[in-house]
Structure 1
Amino acid sequence: MKKNYLKSYRLKEKLSSLITMVIMLFCFQAVAFPLAEDAVVSGRIKDKQTGEYLIGVNVQLKGTTLRSTTNSEGFFRFSNLPEGRQMLVVTYLGFSNKEVSVNASQTPQELFVELEASTTTLGEVVVTGLRRSQIQSINQKKEALNIREVITANEAGRLPDINVAEATQRVSGVSIETDRGEGQFVSIRGIQPSLNNVTLNNSTLASTRDSRATGLDLLPTEIISSIEVIKTNTPDMEGNAIGGTINVNTLSAFDKAKPFVNFAVDGLVQTQQVDLSGFDNTRAPFRGAVTAGKRFGKNEKFGVVGSANFFRRDFSASILDPDGWEFFNYFYPNEIELQIEDIERDRLGLSADFEYRPSKNSSIYLKSLYTQTKETQLNSEFELTLQIGSARPTNQTPTTGRFVRGSGELDQAFTNEIENLYSYTLGTKNRFGKLSTDVYGTFSRAKTNLNNFDATFENPTATEPSLSSTYDTAPFFFTITPDNIATASDPEIYKLRNLNFTTGLLTENIYEISTDLKYDLNVGKTNAFIKFGGRYRDRSKESDRSRDSYDLSYGGVTIPNANAYSLTPFYFPVSVPSQGGATPFVHGNVNKFKEFVDNPANVNNTSKLVFDKLVTDQQLYLNDFKNSETVTAGYAMGVIDFKKLTIITGLRVEHTQTTSENAVIATNRGVATPSTTIASNNYTNFLPSLQLKFTPIKNFITRASYTNTLGRPNYSDLSGATNLNYTELATPGLFTGSVTLANPGLKPYLSSNLDLAFEYYIPNGGIVSVGGFYKKIQNQIYRISQVQRDIFYDGRQYQQLTFSQTTNADDANLYGMEFSYEQTLIFLPGLLNGLGFSTNFALIDSKVTLPNRPNETLPLFRQANNVYNGALYYQKKGFEFRFATSHRSDFLTQAASPESANVLLAVASGYSVADFDRYDAARTTYDISGKYQFPKKKLSISAQVRNLTNAPEQGYQGVTTRYDRHDLTGRSFFLGLALNL
């Protein structure tokens, strides 16, 4: 698996074919269907006050159900109006209604309509910034055919959050998973991130992670115009969306009424209680962005938008980690790990949008995106371990005890990871009378390079009695205290035991082509359309890692011996304790140690370190996988819009074919023997749907839907190394061993979904909504371990063989309700009419039974039971203030195995297997932001405080009082300037 999976010539060949196909389709349409103007009434709608186009405006032929909705360019179109003079009624929440007279006999006609915010009659209430974003989002939700939430950027092209993941958490039913204080993965309605569909301008986006989950921290908010969180799929959407679809839209020059240039720069200060002076050099953190766009050429048929942004965070993290809790009479921690980290994240984002419109009915476009994230971590981790071998605590009480031996370790780790994400979409949109076509091809590539080392210094076995310790778990931040603190604090007793150098490359390539055809119909005075099309996607993903290992235990060398390298030259004192007052006894300077191991003479000194050939040989394959996947999809759908009822129905069919290359590693008596197998799988899924949108009275909408979606297995579950370890027993020909297997035959998740929602739209631009949902999810995927005895496997007879494999399990049921309320308080007197607020919450529950725990019901992995968000804002006379909070409850991350000896002992004492389950704890964060727009200037100043209460990222085992991880990254303070020209 060390050879390149996709040769460069093959990549270029596929990309060339993709471009050629899109251009040929464009040319074919231009020849087969002349690009002439047909008899239509069209127009654009602007905000009279700001000159910005309005999205989601409803334009309806008076007295009929014939209507149109404005797109991101404020554009609407009718090609089916009755002849003669007609009246169009233009409505938009938060703005005054307007009627426009047209003569449908005189075509084509192009109208220019300006709407005035209804709030302007109250004086200094300006529909910009947060107000404008909220009104646009609500109007787009109102006009949507399905259940969706929309987040729009302000007129300067910015959101109040630092990346797309954090922006999405503001809508109902959405929670995020954070990494070192920054939003990363998105969960919709409690479904794990790998089962969401993430698209950029409706095209599939590659992932830099080793799963199907797309880290949305890679997408800065400066490059986007809107984010759509779509909870109920229509047939023209990708079926791989059990949780939902997150579609990120970038800006087009035709979205703006005039040329624009936006500059923004923020300084950043991050506070943390751990003093890392001298640990690493801190570089000034900041965020800067520029976005510009214009139309040009004759009749402004060409448009271009370019954006560049850079964001550097240089900060520290403090981490406490017990590495699990053990049981003997009572629960006690296995150890205490005290980690300090210095982290620098540098993120560069570049995007460009090019478009050519030879006529009003035709366009060809190229959308491109490139992001790069460089992350460097320096981690020093002190561990004081209580549990050595089969040792048990003495002098026990429910919260205290003593161990007569102890082990101290100091781990040093340096990680350098670079993530690159590319996306290029070439497409053409055309309209021929009542027929609209949208054809596009996408190439997206993700590449992650990993280069790190990790090392462990440990006290020799002979010194373990001098690290005897007592523990006390009564306080939340429990204590472990060695009897001899002076010995535990002596860096000279800690000897280098092992050293590992890891390198790796993770790549994903996606080639995709999609065609959508839409034909508008008239059913009397009723709007309708049919839509059909297809998509083909070629997707490949490969993980290729290796690890050079050095270990004093290899070859029978005493571990660790007195001749080994000691920690003393790299000793680093930390004067300020971690959270809870814990103080490490030793720490190391990672940079000093890196300089040391970068010298080959130090690493190749065989009297100090021994090269571990077995582990090195195994690691050439153990973390590798190689997958290719093709998906061929087709759909047909119809929409009919009666006076009060809209029906959306259709069928999507997707055929999936996968090929997985798996390594097989057989290890016996210190020798690893590799081989390779290739397996394939294919399946076809039929995904029918029916959605109803009912408007019994003005501004009140009821939605009901039945949809079907799927979720494909993660790549590492389909392919990877089969790791067989076996040893011959005293009886010749009889073995004992263990085997970990991949499973290329896994079935996809299948979900049948029911949704019901009630929405009331407040005329001045607010909403009250409540809804419920239910999902029945088949073919759950779990990793199961089981022991088999007296079994013949792979040509050998085993007395005992432990199998571990990811398999499909029983169905799961997930259900919940969502509530949202947003309103601007413009009816209040005087200065108070600048107030507004938004709030939402979701209650979610699920039930699933695991094969190895048949008598229990557990929640789905990574499913939070409740999520809420709230924001109070004030906007008046150029001043804008926002106070926001976001909360998600805890969720299950690991289900314990009932076969573990530790679990069996606890169960025999009256505890349950659930006491060993692991969770991410609940987390609530608060943010404050403010902005001032100078009068009659295009300059603004802003400030923001993120994570105001320094909320930790925390995990626990069984109960919340047994914390399993406690991470602090501190507060972030931003101060910035923006110039919008």
Structure 2
Amino acid sequence: MFSELLWALPKQNLQNFNIDSGSADVSLIEFAKQANFTIIFPYEKVQSRRSNSLKGSFTIEQGIAKLLEGTGLVASFETDGVVTIKRISIRDTVIEDKSLFQELVDLFAGKGDDLVIFPEEPLLMELIEVRGIRSSMDWALDIKQESIGVSESIQSEEIGKFPDLNLAESLQRITGVSIDRSEGEGQFVTVRGLGPQFNTVLSNGRRLATDNQGREFSFDTIASELVTSVSVDKTFSASQPSGGIGAIINIKTARPMATREFKVAGSVQATFDTNSQKTAPQGTVFFSNSNDKLGWLVSLSHQIRDARVNEVQTDGWLLNTDVPVEQITSTADNIFVPRNYDQRVRFDQRTRSGGTLVLQYKVTPDLEISLDYLQSNFNVKTNSTSLGHWFTSSNLEDVVTDDNGTAIEFSQNVGHATDFHARTFDRPSSLSALGLNSSLHVSPKVLMEFDVSTSKASTKDRIGAGNALTLIGYLNRSSFSISEDNILPLISNFESADPTIIDASGEAAGVSNYLDPVNGKAHVMLRRGWNIEDKFDQLKTDVTLFEGLNSNVDIKLGLMYSKQSKRNERWDNEKNAVHCSFCGYFPEPDLPDSFQTIFDVGNDFLGSVSGSENLPKLWLRHDGETLFSFLESVSDVNFDAVIRNNSFTVDEKVTSAYIQGHQRAEWQDIEFSTIYGVRYENTDIVVTGFESDLLALTILDQTELGQLNSPGRIISRSATYNNWLPSLSIKAQWQDNIVARFGLSRSLTRPTMSQLSPSLVLTTTRQGGDLRASSGNPELKPFESTNFDLTLEWYYQPLSYISASYFKKKVSNFIVSTVTKMTINDVTDPSTGTDSRAPDSEDTLAEFDLTTPTNGQTATVSGFEFAIQHDFESGWGVVANMTLVDSNAKLNPTDISQKFALTGLSNSQNLILYYEKGPSQIRLAWNHRDGFLQSLVQIQGPEPTYVRSYQQLDLSASYALNDNFSMFIEGVNITEENVLKHGRFSNQLLLAQQPGARYSVGLRGSF
């Protein structure tokens, strides 16, 4: 089904036509006007074809045949009175035997060989547009069936109405696609077990910059209302940009010439967050108009979400630290102890504003110029409060472990602190994309395209608000325990008053009840964040030779140059230990009691997670900025963040060229389409960073060591590599409804940018031997993958199909983290000698765990995808799919020496039930993702992070009041599922997060 041009066909006599040669879309619309009927068709499918002139008197069938002659399109007249526009098949074409030289001469002269078979009866054509759930599914299904490679898409139900409130949430409905969530919203996408860094994200075919430190793209930065479709290409061709061994994801925005009329559309809605109990507004508006020459479109969107997220968190589980041997009861070979244990409530205001501007201009019938601009700002303002307990390995007592070595019981009476935090996790990000494209029909069979674009993304944080922390706490004691029956650990014995507590020096440090502000002392005061600026410039030109060497072969070739400049600046106040100017819980300065008030988290705090009944429901809350200002006012300390030595810039230039053939053939009533080609790419990288030498370590308090460093210096490294990327995709179609696909290709993903920094960074300097450093590697090679795909699809009735796919990827040059021991300039650890509170002659050399990335591992990823979609005549329909993924690079939790495993691998399932009849629409969507390894590191420490299995149920419904207005309601996570993460073993809790549900009600209009 190449086209959606469908007509009802009565008789018609000769008609007069006066149509100039030009783009097929313009000519078909003009043809419809002069024949006095309506045509609605997918603009992008015929835009690239150049039609013939049509002047004189013709019947309808003669006229459309002459108009399309030589375009590679033909009107096919079926016996049931339906006409479809499709590619000319082999049997409809007569090929004259010519020399290669004559073929090339005729090609650029625009001479064609096509013989179009006309129907016998004169016919009139009319199409009625279908809108809504079925319409969007029909378009998506048509794209899937017509694609030569394995490609799937999500289409908007109408302008400004995407199936889900979030792009990532929509993408997870596609087989092979799963997502990572952030505070209840989809953010990152994994395709076929390969995580966000392995997927290339485009907007209208152009690369998008990202607001992250690496290459991964955050889908929560773009409002879904601005998008008309998102496609996921799982197989690769030479004409596509490289970078994604998982998939190429293309976000498309609305085009004015796709509507060919003045149009206004928009929506207003209110969104209620069940956790925060607050309602926030949201609105979107589109204006569009076009004629045969000029089209313009403007869209604007503004969203606010007031959210509350409840969390329990451990920053990491430390492996084999200096827990006193005499305090351990264990039969295991290793011991894992938690770094901390926090309960937190996070208040977010998430504001997303954006818009698009598109101009299309038909300069001549052969030349079209388009300009499109996308702008999106996503500003997350946070204000969180938490109760925390910090554990020091060397002071733990009565430690009991399970068989895996996980500490399931311990207490700490010396060097322990109970802390109340005020934190921010602000994310002031922005994204823009500007592109200019020209399309020129040099002749009826030669199309030249020129495209230049730039995209910018940033997270502006030079004040350290991305991970700021102020702390009021006091020396205390506590007991920690994990039971088999509960997910959440129990923290106890810290609440009551205790006059017997002593500090590390043996001095009395008695405390009152934990809710008494008089206990509070100043401690760590952190401003931390990344200021990220990413710019991606691209210039490319493509030439398509339709029916290049004969009528069944198209040839496409092109050149592309791109330059990406990403600057990652680290801003914090940790230089010279400024952040620890008041570390130690000292009596001075005396903090006003009024700074702290009692905060009640409520009885439903993580209520559906086992063990939540044991969590404290009250703690003390303070305002972080008030505390910063007070401490600066009573001292000469300036807590402002400054740029740090672990900042770096990556400049990456890629020059590429490709040639690609598209060949059609037929055998035994089976139509074959084959795309084959090769892409060559040259990559030049220059990485610039800062580095300073460690001169000494100093004691700051009972846990922290400070760093004294030399002045920073600039260092720079460069690297170059070349790659050949061949590809082959074959599609076989039988009886128009059975399709088989085969794909074989080579693809690459360039190294994660955060792993290219040449600087040595001391990440952790704490007492008890917790000394860690890291360094990047500018000479890392790209990931390279050999991809194999095999798919079978059966389209057994309209809007219904069954498909099964097998895929296998063999990926080389995987990056692994190597940990080695190192000393720096003979610097000693002042906490290791006779006096643990000051340097002495018995201090030993400070030995750091240095983590560096290197290439070397090869992994295989394989799996199956199954999907079924069935539409019932009653108005109901169902979509179900399942993805099964496996790899030879899974992590063995019992092997602590294993340094490499593939992250993101998980099975997933989707089930969608929909109803659409008359003015009513209902859609219920369920998604489930099995547990998976998310990362090989934790917030603190080189231990793995796992995400438990997660499911989510979403609901949407609408009712059309008339032809112009409809009311709708939407619910996200209506069963209020929680996100759970753990360490190497399932009882090593890392995160329990309760994002709650969201409900929206609104009005949508279209004119």
- Equivalent of residue 140 in structure 1, options 140, 143, 147: 143
| Partner in structure 1 of residue 566 of structure 2 | 541
Is residue 2:164 matched to residue 1:161? yes
Shift of 1:98: 5.0
For 1:225, give the aligned amino acid: T
Q: Is the 8 A contact 2:785 2:812 kept in 1?
A: yes
SS of corresponding position for 2:852: strand
| Partner in structure 1 of residue 833 of structure 2 | none
Is residue 2:318 matched to residue 1:289? no
Q: Give the 3 Å change call, closer, same or farther, for CA 415–128 of structure 1 in structure 2.
A: same
Write the deviation string for residues 748-805 of structure 1: whole angstroms up to 9, x where unpaired: 1001100000011133122211010000111101222112689999xxx989664321
Q: Give the 3 Å change call, closer, same or farther, for CA 789–575 of structure 1 in structure 2.
A: closer
Is residue 2:448 matched to residue 1:411? no
TM-score, normalised relative to structure 2: 0.78
| Partner in structure 1 of residue 855 of structure 2 | 808
Q: Is the 8 A contact 1:208 1:214 kept in 2?
A: yes
| Partner in structure 1 of residue 886 of structure 2 | 845
Shift of 1:837: 1.2
Shift of 1:740: 2.6
Which moves more between the two structures, 153-162 or 422-431?
153-162
Task: Map residues 876-891 of structure 1 onto 2, 5 A cutoff.
Answer: 876-891=917-932
Give 5+ residue unaligned stretches, structure 1: 1-34, 60-73, 118-125, 276-281, 728-735, 827-832, 904-915
Equivalent pairs counted in the alignment come to 862
Which moves more between the two structures, 649-658 or 352-361?
352-361
Shift of 1:249: 1.1
Q: Distance in 1 between matches of 2:139 and 2:295?
A: 24
Task: Map residues 19-58 of structure 1 onto 2, 5 A cutoff.
Answer: 37=21, 43=28, 52-54=40-42
Shift of 1:390: 3.6
For 1:435, give the aligned amino acid: V
For 1:666, give the aligned amino acid: D
Shift of 1:934: 1.9
| Partner in structure 1 of residue 540 of structure 2 | 514
Shift of 1:630: 0.5
Which moves more between the two structures, 852-861 or 799-808?
852-861
Write the deviation string for residues 815-841 of structure 1: whole angstroms up to 9, x where unpaired: 011111112111xxxxxx101111111
Q: Give the 3 Å change call, closer, same or farther, for CA 419–43 of structure 1 in structure 2.
A: same
Q: Give the 3 Å change call, closer, same or farther, for CA 576–959 of structure 1 in structure 2.
A: same
For 1:228, give the aligned amino acid: S
Q: Give the 3 Å change call, closer, same or farther, for CA 949–720 of structure 1 in structure 2.
A: farther
Is residue 2:369 matched to residue 1:364? yes
For 1:847, give the aligned amino acid: N
| Partner in structure 2 of residue 527 of structure 1 | 552
Q: Is the 8 A contact 1:540 1:629 kept in 2?
A: yes
Q: Distance in 2 between matches of 1:289 and 1:726?
A: 46
| Partner in structure 1 of residue 689 of structure 2 | 662
| Partner in structure 2 of residue 422 of structure 1 | 432
| Partner in structure 2 of residue 62 of structure 1 | none
| Partner in structure 2 of residue 731 of structure 1 | none
Q: Give the 3 Å change call, closer, same or farther, for CA 552–233 of structure 1 in structure 2.
A: closer
Q: Distance in 1 between matches of 2:236 and 2:81?
A: 30
Write the deviation string for residues 166-199 of structure 1: whole angstroms up to 9, x where unpaired: 2211111001111000111111111110111100
Q: Is the 8 A contact 2:367 2:440 kept in 1?
A: yes
| Partner in structure 2 of residue 320 of structure 1 | 312
Q: Give the 3 Å change call, closer, same or farther, for CA 143–250 of structure 1 in structure 2.
A: same
Q: Is the 8 A contact 2:238 2:726 kept in 1?
A: yes
For 1:634, give the aligned amino acid: A
Q: Give the 3 Å change call, closer, same or farther, for CA 952–640 of structure 1 in structure 2.
A: same
Q: Give the 3 Å change call, closer, same or farther, for CA 896–435 of structure 1 in structure 2.
A: closer
Task: Map residues 373-388 of structure 1 onto 2, 5 A cutoff.
Answer: 373-385=378-390, 387=392
Q: Distance in 1 between matches of 2:24 and 2:410?
A: 84
- Equivalent of residue 304 in structure 1, options 296, 304, 321: 296
Q: Distance in 2 between matches of 1:685 and 1:134?
A: 38
Which moves more between the two structures, 199-208 or 380-389?
380-389
Q: Give the 3 Å change call, closer, same or farther, for CA 88–96 of structure 1 in structure 2.
A: closer
| Partner in structure 2 of residue 957 of structure 1 | 983
Q: Is the 8 A contact 1:846 1:858 kept in 2?
A: no
Which moves more between the two structures, 218-227 or 179-188?
218-227
Q: Is the 8 A contact 2:645 2:691 kept in 1?
A: no
Shift of 1:97: 4.9
| Partner in structure 2 of residue 641 of structure 1 | 664
Write the deviation string for residues 228-261 of structure 1: whole angstroms up to 9, x where unpaired: 1000111000121100100011111111142211
| Partner in structure 2 of residue 969 of structure 1 | 995
- Equivalent of residue 722 in structure 2, options 668, 679, 684: 684
Task: Map residues 400-799 of structure 1 onto 2, 5 A cutoff.
Answer: 400=409, 402-405=411-414, 406-431=416-441, 432-450=443-461, 451=463, 452=465, 454-461=468-475, 464-465=476-477, 467=478, 472=483, 474-482=485-493, 484-485=495-496, 487-502=513-528, 504-521=530-547, 526-549=551-574, 558-565=584-591, 568-574=594-600, 576-577=602-603, 578-579=605-606, 580-584=612-616, 587-590=619-622, 592-597=623-628, 599=629, 602-606=631-635, 620-643=643-666, 644-669=671-696, 670-673=707-710, 674-719=712-757, 721-723=759-761, 739-787=773-821
Q: Give the 3 Å change call, closer, same or farther, for CA 765–394 of structure 1 in structure 2.
A: closer
- How much identity, in percent, do the aligned residues show? 21
| Partner in structure 1 of residue 704 of structure 2 | none
Q: Give the 3 Å change call, closer, same or farther, for CA 438–176 of structure 1 in structure 2.
A: same
Shift of 1:315: 1.1
TM-score, normalised relative to structure 1: 0.80
Which moves more between the two structures, 321-330 or 137-146?
321-330
**Cα RMSD between the aligned structures?**
4.1
Which moves more between the two structures, 873-882 or 757-766?
757-766
Q: Is the 8 A contact 2:685 2:719 kept in 1?
A: yes
Q: Is the 8 A contact 2:154 2:171 kept in 1?
A: yes
Q: Distance in 1 between matches of 2:222 and 2:474?
A: 48
SS of corresponding position for 2:197: helix
SS of corresponding position for 1:743: coil
Which moves more between the two structures, 137-146 or 392-401?
392-401
Q: Is the 8 A contact 1:626 1:720 kept in 2?
A: no
Q: Distance in 2 between matches of 1:922 and 1:54?
A: 40
Q: Distance in 1 between matches of 2:998 and 2:480?
A: 38
Q: Distance in 2 between matches of 1:203 and 1:335?
A: 44
SS of corresponding position for 1:266: strand
Which moves more between the two structures, 884-893 or 921-930?
884-893
Q: Is the 8 A contact 2:43 2:258 kept in 1?
A: no
Shift of 1:556: 9.8
Give 5+ residue unaligned stretches, structure 2: 1-18, 48-63, 93-112, 320-327, 331-335, 498-512, 607-611, 697-706, 828-843
Q: Distance in 1 between matches of 2:351 and 2:661?
A: 46
SS of corresponding position for 1:411: strand
Q: Is the 8 A contact 2:284 2:302 kept in 1?
A: yes
Q: Distance in 1 between matches of 2:182 and 2:66?
A: 43
Shift of 1:535: 0.6
Task: Map residues 221-300 of structure 1 onto 2, 5 A cutoff.
Answer: 221-272=224-275, 284-296=279-291, 300=292
For 2:168, give the aligned amino acid: A
- Equivalent of residue 217 in structure 1, options 213, 216, 220: 220
Q: Distance in 1 between matches of 2:78 and 2:552?
A: 18
Q: Distance in 2 between matches of 1:725 and 1:921?
A: 28
Q: Is the 8 A contact 1:834 1:875 kept in 2?
A: yes
Q: Distance in 1 between matches of 2:225 and 2:877?
A: 24
Q: Distance in 2 between matches of 1:885 and 1:572?
A: 40
For 1:951, give the aligned amino acid: E
Q: Give the 3 Å change call, closer, same or farther, for CA 668–293 of structure 1 in structure 2.
A: same
SS of corresponding position for 2:910: strand
SS of corresponding position for 2:692: strand
Q: Distance in 2 between matches of 1:751 and 1:841?
A: 24
| Partner in structure 2 of residue 979 of structure 1 | 1005
Q: Give the 3 Å change call, closer, same or farther, for CA 557–392 of structure 1 in structure 2.
A: closer
| Partner in structure 1 of residue 501 of structure 2 | none
Write the deviation string for residues 3-40 of structure 1: whole angstroms up to 9, x where unpaired: xxxxxxxxxxxxxxxxxxxxxxxxxxxxxxxx983798
Which moves more between the two structures, 685-694 or 378-387?
378-387
Q: Is the 8 A contact 1:786 1:804 kept in 2?
A: yes
